[in-house]
C-alpha cells in the first residue's frame, strides 16, 4: 500500500512543500495506522461500556428502592453537567493515583492504564446520556402492550427482555445514534492523558516533522469518514429493526 502511494506524496512534498509524512515515511505510516487502530478500539470500548451503563441505569431508575433511584439521578446530574475533560482528568489523576500497582516481575505498572481510564471516564460520561435515552425509549412502550404480556403469564423479567427492551431500543435508536456519534468524537479527549489514539499519534508526527496543517487535515478527514461510517451502520440497523407498517 505505502509502496504505491509513497512516490506521489514524496513528489508532492518536494514540489509544493505539503508534507504528508505518514504517506511516504514507513515510521510515520505505522504511527498513523496504530493511532487509527487504537482510536477504533477505544471508541468501541467506550460505546460498549456506555450502552451497558445505559441499560443498567435505566433499569435501576425503576427500582423500588429509593436510594438506588436517587443514586442514578445524582450520577446523571453530575456527569451531564460537568465537562467530560474534567471527568477524564478526575479519573486519571484523581482515582488513578489511588488504584493499586501490579507487580510485573521487577517493575510496577498501574492496574488500569491510560487506555483503561479513558474507556471508564468517557464510557461513564456517555452512559449518563444513555440512561436518559433508554428511559425515554422505555416510556414510549405502550403500557397496554406490556399488560398483554402480563396477562399471558410473562414474568416481569420476560416482559423486560422480550417486549420492553426490543421496543424501547427501536424507539430510542435515533437519539442513541446521536449519542454514539458524539462519543466517537469525544474519544479524542483521551489525547490529554496520552492514550496513543489518532490525535496523539498525529501530534507526535507533527512535532517531529513540523507539518501541523497537513496532519490537522488528516485528522479532520479521519473523523469525517469515521462518523460517516457509524451513521451508515446505525441507519442500516434502524432499517433492519423497522417494524413493518408501524406508525403509518
Partner 1 sequence: MITADNWTPDQPIVALHDVHKSFGENEVLKGIDLEVMKGEVICIIGPSGSGKSTLIRTINGLTPVTRGSVKVEGQEVHDPDLDKLALRRKVGIVFQQYNLFPHKTVLQNVMMAPVLVLRENKDEVRERARSLLAKVQLNGKEEAYPAELSGGQQQRVAIARSLCMRPDVMLFDEVTAALDPETVKEVLVAIKQLAGEGMTCVLVTHEMGFAREISDRVYFTDAGRIVESGPPAQIFETPKDPRTQEFLSKVL
Q: How far is the CB of 156 from partner 1 (least distance, A)?
A: 10
Q: Exposed/middle/buried for 27, CB within 10 Å: 0-12, 13-18, 19+?
A: exposed
163 binding partner 1? (CB under 8 A): yes
Q: How many CB atoms lie within 10 A of CB 7?
A: 10
CB neighbour list of residue 194: distance below 8 Å, 6 or more residues apart: 114, 200
Nearer to partner 1, 1 or 152 (CB): 152
State which residue, 107 or 246, has the beta carbon closest to partner 1.
246
**DSSP codes of every residue in 196-219:** -SHHHHHHHHHHHH--HHHHHHHH
Q: Which of residues 67-86 bind partner 1 (CB under 8 A)?
A: none
Whose cell is 407498517? That residue is: 245
Number of residues that bind partner 1 (CB under 8 A): 25
Between 147 and 208, name the residue whose CB sits nearer to partner 1: 147
Q: Which stretch binds partner 1 (CB under 8 A): 84-92, 197-205, 222-230, 239-247?
A: 239-247
- Binding of partner 1 by 105 (CB under 8 A): no
Residues in region 142-161 near partner 1 by CB under 8 A: 142, 144-145, 147-155, 158
Residue 28 CB burial class (10 angstroms; 0-12, 13-18, ≥19): buried
Cα–Cα distance list, 70 to 38, 76, 84, 118, 200 (Å):
36, 10, 22, 26, 38
166 binding partner 1? (CB under 8 A): yes
Q: Which three cell numbers stand for residue 207?
A: 512535532
- Check binding of 240 to partner 1 (CB under 8 A): no
- Other residues' Cβ atoms within 10 Å of the Cβ of residue 65: 9
Q: How far apart are the first and last CA of the chain?
A: 49
Interacting residue with partner 1 among 28, 134, 170, 186 (CB under 8 A): 170
Q: Which is nearer to partner 1, 125 or 134 (CB)?
A: 134
Q: How far is the CB of 155 from partner 1 (least distance, A)?
A: 8
Binding site for partner 1 (CB under 8 A): 142, 144-145, 147-155, 158, 162-163, 166-167, 170, 241, 243-248
Amino acid at each position: 500500500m505505502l509502496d504505491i502511494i509513497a512516490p506521489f506524496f514524496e513528489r508532492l512534498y518536494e514540489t509544493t512543500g505539503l508534507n504528508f509524512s505518514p504517506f511516504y515515511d514507513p515510521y510515520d505510516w505505522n504511527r498513523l495506522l496504530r493511532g487509527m487502530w487504537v482510536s477504533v478500539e477505544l471508541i468501541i470500548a467506550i460505546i460498549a461500556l456506555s450502552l451497558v451503563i445505559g441499560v443498567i441505569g435505566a433499569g435501576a431508575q425503576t427500582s423500588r428502592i429509593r436510594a438506588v433511584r436517587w443514586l442514578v439521578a445524582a450520577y446523571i446530574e453530575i456527569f451531564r453537567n460537568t465537562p467530560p475533560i474534567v471527568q477524564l482528568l478526575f479519573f486519571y489523576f484523581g482515582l488513578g493515583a489511588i488504584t493499586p500497582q501490579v507487580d510485573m516481575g521487577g517493575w510496577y505498572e498501574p492496574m488500569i492504564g491510560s487506555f483503561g481510564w479513558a474507556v471508564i471516564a468517557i464510557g461513564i460520561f456517555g452512559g449518563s446520556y444513555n440512561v436518559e435515552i433508554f428511559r425515554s425509549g422505555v416510556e414510549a412502550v405502550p403500557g397496554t402492550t406490556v399488560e398483554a404480556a402480563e396477562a399471558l403469564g410473562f414474568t416481569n423479567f420476560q416482559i423486560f427482555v422480550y417486549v420492553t427492551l426490543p421496543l424501547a431500543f427501536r424507539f430510542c435508536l435515533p437519539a442513541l445514534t446521536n449519542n454514539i456519534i458524539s462519543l466517537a468524537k469525544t474519544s479524542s479527549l483521551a489525547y490529554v492523558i496520552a492514550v496513543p489514539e489518532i490525535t496523539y499519534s498525529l501530534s507526535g508526527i507533527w512535532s517531529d516533522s513540523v507539518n501541523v496543517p497537513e496532519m490537522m487535515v488528516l485528522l479532520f478527514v479521519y473523523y469525517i469518514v469515521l462518523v460517516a461510517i457509524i451513521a451508515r451502520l446505525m441507519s442500516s440497523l434502524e432499517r433492519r429493526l423497522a417494524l413493518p407498517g408501524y406508525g403509518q
